[in-house]
């Protein structure tokens, strides 16, 4: 079963690992720290990018007749939101140099929603025309 996911979703799984890493490492101080809410933009991009890649890999590995809406929504919206919430909780309660943040969770959700909007738009324009 694990081999199945590695063969169908290699980039998605790599991005999950990258998001995990970025969520728990201590970032170096840079000039960008002075930009207001730059970290929120990073959160939107991380989760928007992750979910967009999941959408693409799902479509790549399934014929139009095989697409299951429930699985698609679970994998591209529900699971990323739960993943995001879990990371925020772990940052709050299991680390000393990171903290859980409702604003980060909101930014992650915006990224997921933007990717879902893009996914729905592309899905309707591609799958319903062909």
Give the number of domains in the chain: 1
Q: How far, in Å, CA of 71 to CA of 69, rounded?
A: 6
Residue of 24 and 126 predicted with greater confidence:
24
- DSSP-derived secondary structure for the chain: -HHHHHHH-HHHHHHHHHHHHHHHS-PPP-GGGGSTTHHHHHHHHHHHHHHHHHHHHHHHHS-GGG--HHHHHIIIIIHHHHHHHHHHHHHHHH-SS----HHHHHHHHHHHHHHHHHHHHHHHHHHTT-
Q: How far, in Å, CA of 129 to CA of 80, rounded?
A: 29
Section 95-113 average pLDDT: 93
Q: What is the pLDDT of residue 70?
A: 92
Q: Quote the mean pLDDT of the chain.
A: 89
Contact by Cβ (8 Å): 88, 24: no
Q: Whole-prediction pTM value? A: 0.87
pLDDT tens digits, 35-57: 888 889 999 999 999 999 999 99
pLDDT band per the 50, 70, 90 thresholds, residue 125: confident
Q: What is the pLDDT of residue 34?
A: 80
Q: What is the pLDDT of residue 129?
A: 60
Host domain of residue 99: 2-24+33-127
């Amino acid at each position: 079963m694990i081999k199945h996911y590695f063969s169908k979703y290699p980039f998605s799984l790599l991005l999950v690992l990258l998001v995990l890493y970025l969520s728990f490492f201590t970032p170096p101080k840079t000039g960008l720290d002075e930009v207001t809410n730059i970290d929120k933009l990073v959160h939107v991009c991380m989760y928007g990018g992750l979910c967009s890649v999941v959408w693409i890999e799902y479509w790549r590995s399934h014929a139009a007749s095989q697409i299951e809406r429930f699985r698609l929504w679970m994998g591209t919206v529900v699971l990323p939101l739960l993943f995001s919430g879990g990371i925020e909780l772990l940052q709050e309660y299991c680390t000393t140099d990171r903290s859980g943040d409702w604003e980060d969770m909101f930014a992650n959700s915006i990224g997921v929603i933007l990717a879902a909007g893009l996914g729905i738009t592309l899905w309707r324009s591609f799958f319903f025309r062909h």
